[in-house]
Amino acid sequence: MLGVILSLLPLLVAENSAKIFVYCPWDSLQRSRLTISFDNIRGAEIQPGRFFLLNVKAGSHVLIPGPGVPLVVDIGAGEEAFVRVGRRIEMGPGGTTDSPMLDLPDPEVARLDLVNLVYVAPKKIHSDSVAKTDPFSHQVPKLKTRNSSE
């Protein structure tokens, strides 16, 4: 009985998991490295041209960009969400305020943005919930030549 439960455990965990891709486009107003926290846990440091993947349980999660404005992401089991890092600049009578912010772009736009980005360096990852390697990396195909016997 215990063996059956243990064999089904990874399947049950996978059914309740979700993926949140956090990225900072090359043309972002965010110029320096920024720590992204989620659910009061330090996740990873990001800078323009980088992204990382958060493996989370389905439900609501609060992401915070350094000293910036929090964003709540509601995500269902097996779903993917995309969070873009940016800056909010406001001009008022007291001067200019500039703070990091997060937004939820259209998933199709986000997927296109991710194509040109690089995964964060392993030393910039601070949580086990952040994937250690690029989820899109794959082996470089071996090219065949005319003289090849393969």
22-71 pLDDT, tens digit per residue, is 999 998 877 789 999 999 999 999 999 999 999 999 999 999 999 988 99
- pLDDT over 80 (residue 106): yes
Residue 39 maps to a domain: yes
1 vs 145: which has the higher pLDDT? 145
pLDDT in tens, 66-85: 998 899 999 999 999 999 99
Q: What is the pTM of this model?
A: 0.80
In a domain, 143, yes or no: no
The alpha-helical segments, DSSP class H, found in the chain are: 2-15, 107-114
Answer yes or no: is 34 within a domain.
Answer: yes
Give the number of domains in the chain: 1
Q: How many residues does the chain have?
A: 150
Give the mean pLDDT of 115-123: 94
Q: Which two tokens stand for residue 60?
A: 């609501």
Percent of the chain with pLDDT over 70: 83
Range of the domain at 24: 20-123
- In 3D space, the residue among 28, 49, 18 whose CA is nearest the CA of residue 124 turns out to be 49
**Domain assignment present for 95:** yes
Name residues whose C-beta falls within 8 Å of residue 8's C-beta, 6 or more positions apart in sequence: none
Res 143: pLDDT: 65
Picking from 125, 126, 138, the residue whose alpha carbon sits closest to that of residue 50 is 125
Backbone angles phi, psi at 102, to 5 degrees: -125, 150
